[in-house]
Amino acid sequence: MTATDRHAEDLVAGLIEGSGGLRACALISPAGDVLAATAEADWAEQAERLWAAAADPVRGDAEHVHVAIDGGELFAVRGESATAVGIADRFSLASLVLCDLREALRRLAGGAG
């Protein structure tokens, strides 16, 4: 495991510990590789489907998405160096979850350490 891999793993673990209501999350590279995840899932493929569904031909690509799902809520934030996706309990504070996901992306872009 590289230092970058450990850094990504630490970030997703920190998201679960520190973000109110977040149950599972993943960091995905622009190439579609899962950098780290807290649970086994088809994170990259589902994130790609989510971004495709959120695309707007007039306004362009979405920077973040918040969708109600069965038994919870799904959040995704796209950054230059990765995408952060999280599944939270129903009625989690969207602004805080999105802020936490953005912070994880900033830290990931900043490198290990």
In this predicted structure, what is the pLDDT of residue 65? 96
User: Does residue 66 sit in helix, strand or coil?
Assistant: strand
In this predicted structure, what is the pLDDT of residue 68? 93
- Pick from 85, 99, 73: nearest CA to 19: 99
| H or E element that contains 28 | strand 22-28
Each of the 113 residues of the chain gets a pLDDT tens digit; together they read 687 789 999 999 999 999 878 999 999 999 999 999 999 999 999 999 999 999 988 988 899 999 999 989 999 999 998 999 999 999 889 999 999 999 999 999 997 54
Q: Which domains does the chain have, with CATH numbers?
A: 3-110 (3.30.450.30)
In this predicted structure, what is the pLDDT of residue 2? 80
In this predicted structure, what is the pLDDT of residue 112? 54
